[in-house]
A and B are shown apart, each in its own frame.
Chain A
Amino acid sequence: MPDSFTLNINGKAHTVQVDGDVPLLWVIRETLQLTGTKFGCGIAQCGACTVHVDGQPMRSCQLQVSRVVGREITTIEGIREDHAVKQAWIDVQVPQCGYCQSGQIMSAVALVEKNSNPSEEEIIAAMEGNLCRCGTYMRIKRAIRQAAQEVRNS
């Protein structure tokens, strides 16, 4: 039988009736229809489902919903629209098909908020888990450098 869970997503409380072992990804996407978070692989290999849990980037396909009650969950919709990373993504025209980009942006936001002057190696370490089939990696790097600069200047 489904249980009732109250989740804190993007600063709002959402109560859902689901089995406790359902991955957070599907609760976000299908139950709450916050579809910015994407399904890519289901085994934490692609990063398309990346969200923040208490500020840390995590693969929501691997998080059972019962384990994230009471924690602060942020999805792509919860990152403010004028965030330096989102702005840089638009300036650099990063996305092609765009499907992986919510996850890319969530990983990048976590990076620049922790480290506003990341080296090439630190960028790669933070982004290596996010796949892009269209091949936008070069522009992702450029956008992260630009966003980091913006964060440093502000």
Chain B
Amino acid sequence: MNNSIDRREFLTRAGLTLAVAATSSSLKVFAISPAATGSEIFSPGPWLQITPDNQVTILLCKSEMGQGIHTAIPMIVADELEAEWGQVRTEMAPVLPEYADPRINQHGTFGSMSLRNMYLPLRNLGAAGREILVEAAAQKWSVPVSQCEAIQGKVQHQPSGRSFTFGELVEEASALPVPENPRLKEKSEFKLMGTPVARRDIPAKVQGKAKYGLDTFVPGMLYGVVARPPAYGANLTSYDERAAKQVEGVRHVVRFDRGVGICADTLQAAWKGRQALDSKWDRGIDPNMSTASVEKALADGLEKPGREDRNDEGVPSALRQADKRVLADYFLPYLSHAIMEPMNATAHVQADQCDVWAPTQSQTGVQRAAASITGMKQEEIKVHTPYLGGGYGGRGATEGVQEAVTLSKATGRPIKVVWTREEDIKYEAYRPGYAHRIEASLDEQGQVTSWTHKVVGGASRGPGGGGGLRSLQYEVQNLKSESVSLDKPIPTRPWRAPGGSHFGFTVESFMDELAHAANQDPVEFRLRHLEHDSRHHKVVELVAEKAGWSKPLTRGEGRGIATYYSHGSYVSEVAEVSVDRNTGVIKIHRIVCAVDCGPVVNPDTLEAQMSGAITMGWSAALQEKVEFADGGVKSSNYSDYHLLRMSDAPEVEVHMMESDAAIGGGGEPSLPPIAPAVANAVFAATGVRIRTLPLTPARVLAALRQG
């Protein structure tokens, strides 16, 4: 478990303390003394401390939600520092500007950005530490630096074999200047990076000892639940405060902007109090909104003029001169994050302090939310980050924090707000639903000469991710892209690969349609539209080779390919499927995935992230869909919002194509290709093209019957 360390305690420890100040153009490592006040020292960046007890401490500004970042960050620093893995520990950094992710100036874990933003700063931090320790040892022995080497937590004097531990060197080291350009290790010198180091959070998770947000207990704490409007924008018309207060254990009833809060000694009492409260609401701002009306609005949007994101002047003439024109519409539903740990937060607001315990992907967002409610300064909000029982973008949410802080402020008690699964499905913010219309022209050689793309949906309220299509991953000269917003009151939020989850499906389904229109093999067709010898080209070739793309399949089976670049990484996937023509059930026989994300820090974690995002993407593509009714959300629990179970989980094989390019993200980029790879494989197996997700048996069956 990584506890949040107190800033004062950290800075006053004896030892060598280093921090990186990283801007977009430079990286500089600084030594920090307890008296240091220089402003550059307080630029955001990762921190490292080596103490006389021979402990190496690395501060973390990233949340652990299963992606292994609390292992990857110390791996990078320890490797460059040449520390022994066992002497390295980590603590959550105080949520203050100087400990933040230097590229985003925030404490937040999203966008598959952690390693993309931190890899080089972390390597420089470790390398600077190594060089200072070697220098300190050389001075202590009065020998040339060139005779000294850092090896596994010690500096050795090669000719004599003498050595000092890092801890024995920190006093001298802390008086030395920090090297301007520390030498980073060659790849051949890595001892940890590139190896499958066991994740540090796993033993506690296996033993049931890992603490998640919901496992927070604060002395004197009450449980908080909230009665919220059943429909979007509905106003409270009546509630029975007295009845709620008569429930044994109910202590407070608090009316606030999000509804009516009930604070009680136990969760059961709070829930009974909410029932007794019998809150009544009006019908909201779009009372007739239903799944059908949302779907109709998306389809209607395709006929409306959009906001142009790009409009190349060659598009009309390319369409006129086309040998073939292809047009298709695609539809994607709203998706729930459906995170296994429901929304929760604990807060304790006191006169001069506010503590918040939240499983959050955005500590900075938690601070902002709590600061605006309490009137305190952002840095006065102490954020404690337990393990996150899932994230996927959904934990940027601060609704639970807002409720806990409001109720704690009103009652003076620490409050733990717990959402039930039903509340979590109904009151969260979703991956938006989308409609896409794409038209392209092909020349006689089967090359794409123009691409026109309209997107309906997206961020109607809040960030949903995606926006318009500003560029294509393929070499297409004439591009027109426009987006139409959807006038619905449904809140949206990034959901694992926010843009790729819909552009991946539509662009890669359409590329498949174009390949068939051009009478070309789908792999060949893609390769012909990618720069030769580019990373993307090679990843497509690799996946085709590993999948045995040209080898014959058993009768009735089909193979589909899709490829997508996102978060700095290239991922191509091939699916082998068969379809039961009587039931419409798609059976996945095999998924082959190839990835180029540049350097690989931990191959075992990368494999887990690749196959995990593929599994989550297949869960969504197969059966996930948020249903609406009566102006609100109808979906309620895992009984009607179905997640993939073991029997439908595909076997995934992951092939990594390491490169020296800038490091890419790992958490999201394998999600976009899975839905189109499967849909393309369904087409290969059946000749039926399905352009609407999810690919439920009922939809597949209907499509098969239509032929």
Interface residues of A (CB under 8 A from B): 1, 18-19, 22, 26, 30, 33-43, 45-46, 48, 75-77, 81, 86, 89-90, 93-102, 105, 123-124, 127-141
Among B28-36, B197-205, B656-664, which stretch is in contact with chain A? B197-205
Cβ of B489 within 8 Å of any chain A Cβ, yes or no, is: no
Give the residue name and chain of the A residue nearest to B619 (CB). Answer: A135
Chain B residues closer than 8 Å to A133, beta-carbon distance: 338-340, 390, 392, 616, 643
Task: Identify whether the interface residues of A are mostly helix, strand, loop, or mixed.
Answer: loop
Taking a contact as CB atoms under 8 Å apart, the answer to whether A36 and B207 are in contact is yes
Among B43-51, B170-178, B569-577, B645-653, which stretch is in contact with chain A? B645-653
- Shortest CB–CB separation between residue B643 and chain A, in angstroms? 5
Q: How many residues of B contact A (CB 8 A)?
A: 60
Q: Top 7 A-B pairs ranked by shortest CB distance?
A: A36-B208, A135-B615, A96-B66, A99-B389, A98-B205, A76-B208, A97-B66
Most A C-beta atoms less than 10 A away, residue of B206, B208, B619:
B206
Taking a contact as CB atoms under 8 Å apart, the answer to whether B205 and A30 are in contact is no
Question: A42 and B611 in contact (CB under 8 A), knowing A95-B206, A99-B390, A124-B647?
Answer: no
Taking a contact as CB atoms under 8 Å apart, the answer to whether B207 and A86 are in contact is yes
Among B8-16, B184-192, B212-220, B521-529, which stretch is in contact with chain A? B212-220
Most B C-beta atoms less than 10 A away, residue of A19, A34, A95, A140:
A95
> B292-308 interface mask toward A, CB cutoff 8 Å, 1 = contact, 0 = none?
00000000000000000
Taking a contact as CB atoms under 8 Å apart, the answer to whether A135 and B638 are in contact is no
Most B C-beta atoms less than 10 A away, residue of A37, A129, A134:
A134
Give the residue name and chain of the A residue nearest to B207 (CB). Answer: A81
Taking a contact as CB atoms under 8 Å apart, the answer to whether A134 and B646 are in contact is no
Cβ of B628 within 8 Å of any chain A Cβ, yes or no, is: no
Provide the bound-state CA to CA distance between A76 and B214, in Å. Answer: 17
Provide the bound-state CA to CA distance between A19 and B652, in Å. Answer: 47
Provide the bound-state CA to CA distance between A35 and B526, in Å. Answer: 50
Question: A134 and B390 in contact (CB under 8 A), knowing A35-B215, A124-B646?
Answer: yes
Provide the bound-state CA to CA distance between A78 and B421, in Å. Answer: 27
Provide the bound-state CA to CA distance between A100 and B205, in Å. Answer: 9
Q: Which of A26, A76, A97 contacts B340 (CB 8 A)?
A: A97
Chain A residues closer than 8 Å to B201, beta-carbon distance: 95, 98
Taking a contact as CB atoms under 8 Å apart, the answer to whether B389 and A38 are in contact is yes
Question: A98 and B389 in contact (CB under 8 A), knowing A38-B340, A90-B198, A138-B651?
Answer: yes
Chain B residues closer than 8 Å to A129, beta-carbon distance: 645
Taking a contact as CB atoms under 8 Å apart, the answer to whether B341 and A136 are in contact is no
Chain A residues closer than 8 Å to B532, beta-carbon distance: none
Chain B residues closer than 8 Å to A38, beta-carbon distance: 212, 214, 340-341, 389
Taking a contact as CB atoms under 8 Å apart, the answer to whether B212 and A95 are in contact is no
Chain B residues closer than 8 Å to A123, beta-carbon distance: 646
Task: Identify whether the interface residues of B are mostly helix, strand, loop, or mixed.
Answer: loop
13 interchain pairs, CB-CB under 8 A: A26-B266, A33-B217, A39-B214, A42-B637, A45-B639, A46-B421, A96-B608, A97-B340, A98-B201, A99-B340, A101-B206, A134-B612, A136-B612
Taking a contact as CB atoms under 8 Å apart, the answer to whether A41 and B421 are in contact is yes
Provide the bound-state CA to CA distance between A38 and B213, in Å. Answer: 11
Give the residue name and chain of the B residue nearest to A131 (CB). Answer: B643
Chain B residues closer than 8 Å to A94, beta-carbon distance: 202, 206
Provide the bound-state CA to CA distance between A96 and B651, in Å. Answer: 17
Question: A127 and B612 in contact (CB under 8 A), knowing A46-B638, A76-B207, A97-B388?
Answer: no
Q: Which of B643-692 contact A (CB under 8 A)?
A: 643-647, 649, 651-652
Provide the bound-state CA to CA distance between A137 and B614, in Å. Answer: 12
- Shortest CB–CB separation between residue A26 and chain B, in angstroms? 6
- Shortest CB–CB separation between residue B665 and chain A, in angstroms? 16
Cβ of B613 within 8 Å of any chain A Cβ, yes or no, is: yes
Chain A residues closer than 8 Å to B158, beta-carbon distance: none
Question: A138 and B390 in contact (CB under 8 A), knowing A37-B208, A124-B646?
Answer: no
Question: A77 and B646 in contact (CB under 8 A), knowing A93-B199, A138-B652?
Answer: no
Taking a contact as CB atoms under 8 Å apart, the answer to whether B421 and A97 are in contact is no
- Shortest CB–CB separation between residue B221 and chain A, in angstroms? 10
Q: Which of B206, B267, B649, B651 contacts A135 (CB 8 A)?
A: B649
Taking a contact as CB atoms under 8 Å apart, the answer to whether B203 and A90 are in contact is yes
Cβ of B65 within 8 Å of any chain A Cβ, yes or no, is: yes
Chain A residues closer than 8 Å to B604, beta-carbon distance: 93
Most B C-beta atoms less than 10 A away, residue of A33, A89, A131:
A131
Cβ of B285 within 8 Å of any chain A Cβ, yes or no, is: no
Chain B residues closer than 8 Å to A99, beta-carbon distance: 212, 340-341, 389-390
Provide the bound-state CA to CA distance between A22 and B272, in Å. Answer: 12
Chain A residues closer than 8 Å to B224, beta-carbon distance: none
Cβ of B387 within 8 Å of any chain A Cβ, yes or no, is: yes
Most B C-beta atoms less than 10 A away, residue of A18, A46, A76, A139:
A46
Provide the bound-state CA to CA distance between A36 and B387, in Å. Answer: 13
Chain A residues closer than 8 Å to B340, beta-carbon distance: 38, 40, 46, 48, 97, 99-100, 131-133
Provide the bound-state CA to CA distance between A118 and B527, in Å. Answer: 44
- Shortest CB–CB separation between residue B265 and chain A, in angstroms? 10
Question: A127 and B342 in contact (CB under 8 A), knowing A45-B639, A98-B202, A138-B652?
Answer: no
- Shortest CB–CB separation between residue B247 and chain A, in angstroms? 12
Question: A77 and B208 in contact (CB under 8 A), knowing A43-B639, A137-B646?
Answer: yes
> B387-429 interface mask toward A, CB cutoff 8 Å, 1 = contact, 0 = none?
1111110000000000000000000000000101110000000
Cβ of B67 within 8 Å of any chain A Cβ, yes or no, is: yes
Provide the bound-state CA to CA distance between A138 and B651, in Å. Answer: 7
Taking a contact as CB atoms under 8 Å apart, the answer to whether A97 and B389 are in contact is yes
Provide the bound-state CA to CA distance between A134 and B339, in Å. Answer: 9
20 further A-B contacts with Cβ under 8 Å, apart from A93-B198, A100-B340, are A26-B267, A34-B208, A40-B638, A41-B639, A42-B421, A43-B639, A86-B206, A96-B66, A96-B67, A97-B66, A98-B201, A98-B205, A99-B340, A128-B645, A128-B646, A131-B643, A134-B612, A135-B613, A135-B616, A139-B608
Chain B residues closer than 8 Å to A105, beta-carbon distance: 206
> B38-66 interface mask toward A, CB cutoff 8 Å, 1 = contact, 0 = none?
00000000000000000000000000011
Chain B residues closer than 8 Å to A18, beta-carbon distance: 266, 268
Give the residue name and chain of the B residue nearest to A101 (CB). Answer: B205
- Shortest CB–CB separation between residue A125 and chain B, in angstroms? 9
Chain B residues closer than 8 Å to A42, beta-carbon distance: 420-422, 637
Cβ of B324 within 8 Å of any chain A Cβ, yes or no, is: no
> B212-240 interface mask toward A, CB cutoff 8 Å, 1 = contact, 0 = none?
10110100000000000000000000000
- Shortest CB–CB separation between residue A64 and chain B, in angstroms? 12
Most B C-beta atoms less than 10 A away, residue of A75, A77, A97:
A97
Most A C-beta atoms less than 10 A away, residue of B196, B202, B619:
B202
- Shortest CB–CB separation between residue A38 and chain B, in angstroms? 7
Taking a contact as CB atoms under 8 Å apart, the answer to whether B420 and A75 are in contact is no
Provide the bound-state CA to CA distance between A37 and B421, in Å. Answer: 16
